[in-house]
Amino acid sequence: MKQLDKIYDPGSVEDRLYSKWVDSGYFHTQRDPEKKPYTIVMPPPNITGQLHMGHAMDETWQDILIRYKRMQGYAALWVPGTDHASIATEAKIVAKMKEEGLTKQDLGREKFLERAWDWKKQYGGRIVEQLKKLGCSCDWKRERFTMDEGCSRAVLKVFKKLYDEGLIYRGERIINWCPHCKTSISDAEVEYEDQQSFFWHLKYPIVGTDEYLELATTRPETMLGDTAVAVHPDDERYRHLHGKKVILPLVNKEIPIVCDEYVDMEFGTGVVKITPAHDPNDFEVGRRHNLPIIKVLTDDAHMTDDCGKYVGMDRYEARKAIVADLEAGGYLASIEPHPHNVGTCYRCGTTVEPMVSKQWFVKMVSLAGPAIEAVRDGRIKFVPERFDKNYYFWMENTRDWCISRQLWWGHRIPAYYCDDCGEITVSAEPLTVCPKCGKPVHQDEDTLDTWFSSALWPFSTLGWPEETEDLKYFYPTNTLVTGYDIITFWVSRMIFSGLTYTDQVPFNTVLIHGLVRDAQGRKMSKSLGNGIDPLEVIKDYGADALRLTLVLGSTPGNDMRFSDEKVKASRNFANKLWNAARFVMMNLPENFQPGDPATLTMADKWILSRFNTLVKNVSENLDKFELGLAAQKVQDFIWDVYCDWYIEIAKLRLNSEDEQEADSARKLLVSILVGALKLLHPFMPFITEEIYTALPGTGETLVTESWPVYDEAQCYAAEEQSFEKVMDLIKAVRAVRNDMGVHPTKRTTMIIETTDAAPFEAGKSYLAKFAFANEVHFTPAYEGETKGVVQVVTHAARAFIPMMELIDREKELARLNKEKAQCEKDLASLQAKLSNEGFVSKAPEKVVNDIRAKHAAAVDKLAKIEESLKALA
């Protein structure tokens, strides 16, 4: 029989076991008509990625679900993959090239892409290997990449389909432009932060008068691109100015005063400058009034050639110069401090510029409608449900999606321009000549937004656009596990894409987790220096300890705090389990055969009943995605019930001269341990596998073992209740002895006053062992000496123990008074609830009856404590 090492060493176990799992094909999932499918597609981490705590939590939750469903008998498929991450990856490559003194233009597109694929080869697999260190049971034979051949084919088909249906178009519109990344980004990729700024109040002279209009701006540098000022048509203050013009300061150009309902009469002076090239609302005003569009910023946020003396200045440098010139010219009325909500690039943090640009867009209104309805009618549910509000707000207010990016790494837009006749052709197949005139064509230089391809992820990874057998069997997928921060980026787009291209929802549940914060509740960041590397945690404590830490205490949708103390507690639990397993195995003879015990004691039925209930509760918790609650229940059972109680109880029989009794104890110890390992396996796969495969009579792996099932025949409610009475008394006696500082070797007699002596009669051996009683007597009503006798009270009994010669009387009085105060506090709380007519009338009957029972027990306990105090007095 294999014996476990004295100390559990995760480093010597985890890599070995993971290789065994992969080599044996345990994670590979085949279609099976006899099984129900259960599918998760991994949110693809970026190929630039380094495993961080957010990844670790996300993948741990997915792995728990997939291991649970696999053990339940589902054809459980977890599809892994990585994302090409256009902006982030290109930025990394460009930065690396800069160290060599090279630019993209130096290399040219083809050579640059060769570098990008080399980067993917070198770094793309890095995060995959890190995920394996975490224990992710993905089907690695199905690993995908957003730019692999199949996913790329899906992207091209979708682009052409939407273009042919008039849902993709190319046009000039206001987009978000990142001057650092030098590309457009979508609305969802703009993060807003409060910045302290100013309102500059400017004077625009009215043509032909000595008057001026006052207006305010937070971006004075854009005034060079003003093509009008606007007032509300109903604003009486400016009715006489309708149709007139103002002079644009510094530029000395006449621009019209237009009337538009966009203007808020109540805000400021009720006059706004209109800069159609650099503000989304101004752009719409400009379209309504046919205003010219004048760009004053370059792609890297410098002033354009049309900006006179300011040409070539950085936007902030130009701002200072323009404000100074406005003041010198008498056009600056005042400066007012103003906290401003400023949009920044989600990748680099640079302040983005709203800017008119010719880009490719997806019309969103017709696509958003069915996606909204799919959540409203319950085909897709968010867990927690409250996150559907984020989703609705985004989808109901969505604008056309800018999908083109000024990058080279990514899916190149499949639009071809004829060099002769100007025809634009969109084709899923490469083109070299114009279908209309036969002359040469050139392809659009831009690539597609990364989210355009990842929006197809749930079905492109299963073979779409081909009608593969995998797609028919595994799609729609079941559970998407992700953070709340990408509901707009990704979740919404997958939903409308699935409905549009497959006529089915892509998944039925979106399980939302929160952020992993540091021990102080702060977001982990480089600037704070509080980031924690999961790989370092795994190196120091093992993957199981990290996984358990990331699930214990966690609830869907809520952030959790991570600390070294929590990981150490998880490591300590692993050691507790390891030592318990070693004890069990050390007490098994070489010829031991697992099976059903020949006899069952009250304690045996108690542990069987407790485990049976645990199976039911944990399964229900996992089905409701209450992963943290499920993990806590399994840990509590193993630590408190199995290790601290049942193993100690079993020792009495293991050392018995009755071999049948000893064998029954061994069989049940092994049986419960195996069951507990199965329940713990999704959370801590490595240590559970190592122990399980060392136990006699077990299979070759836990990965494919069957999940325990609740069995009504294993429910011993009466015995469980009886044994709990004995345990309560033991715990109470031990607590009293501990408070009084009595050494365990000092034993005394015990008289138990109870109207139900049967449980205590059956548990006499446990009372002798664990309550340190050398004699136990029973009576329905104690009439003996109370002087010098300590009384221990539980809801089911009162124990009288002659221990005054062993204790400090004053300490015992203090203990009883403290217990009395707590009992009176509990009684007052219960009484307040029962006195509340509103509560009693509205609360469920079961709840009210439970409180009444607790109240009666508290009254009884208080009376017994007062008797004990009286005896000591």
Binding residues for ATP: 526
Distance CA 66, CA 704 (A): 11
Q: At what angle do helices 53-71 and 627-636 cross, to 10 degrees?
A: 70
Q: Indicate the residue type of 650.
A: A
Neighbours of 651 (CB within 10 A): 15
CA angle, 183 then 188 then 193, to 5°:
90
Select from 104, 88, 178, 147 the least CA-distant residue to 402: 178
- Please report the beta strands in 126-252, taking only residues with DSSP state E, as ranges in sequence order: 144-145, 168-178, 183-185, 190-205, 212-217, 228-231, 245-248
Sheet of strand 415-418: strand arrangement: 424-426, 415-418, 441-443
Distance CA 488, CA 383 (A): 16
Q: Which long-range contacts (CB under 8 A, 24 or more apart) does 692-700 make?
A: 693/2, 694/2, 694/3, 694/4, 694/581, 694/585, 695/581, 695/585, 695/594, 695/670, 696/1, 696/588, 696/592, 696/593, 696/594, 696/670, 697/593, 697/594, 697/670, 698/594, 698/674, 700/24
Q: At what angle do helices 388-396 and 492-502 cross, to 10 degrees?
A: 70
Distance CA 191, CA 346 (A): 6
- From residue 701, alpha-carbon distances to 59, 132, 594, 688 in Å are 21, 18, 17, 10
Beta carbons within 8 Å of 820's beta carbon, 6+ residues apart:
862, 865, 866, 869
- Extract the annotated binding site: 526
Distance CA 106, CA 41 (A): 39
CB-based contact 847:839 (threshold 8 Å) = no
Distance CA 285, CA 264 (A): 13
Q: 């519109």: which residue's tokens? A: 173
Give the alpha-carbon dihedral of 479, 483, 485, 487, to 10 degrees: 0
Distance CA 380, CA 507 (A): 7
User: Are β-strands 509-513 and 381-383 bridged in parallel, bridged antiparallel, or unpaired?
Assistant: parallel
Distance CA 274, CA 217 (A): 10
Q: 């057998």: which residue's tokens? A: 469
CB-based contact 141:77 (threshold 8 Å) = no
Q: Cis link prior to 556 (omega < 30° from 0)?
A: no
Q: HSE of 66 in the Cβ direction (CA atoms, 13 Å)? A: 28
Q: Which two tokens stand for residue 437?
A: 């005139």
- Please report the beta strands in 683-807, taking only residues with DSSP state E, as ranges in sequence order: 748-753, 773-779, 790-793, 798-801
CB-based contact 225:294 (threshold 8 Å) = yes
Q: Is 404 helix (H, G, I), strand (E, B) or coil?
A: strand
Q: Which two tokens stand for residue 677?
A: 């390992």
Q: Cis link prior to 465 (omega < 30° from 0)?
A: yes
Distance CA 715, CA 710 (A): 9
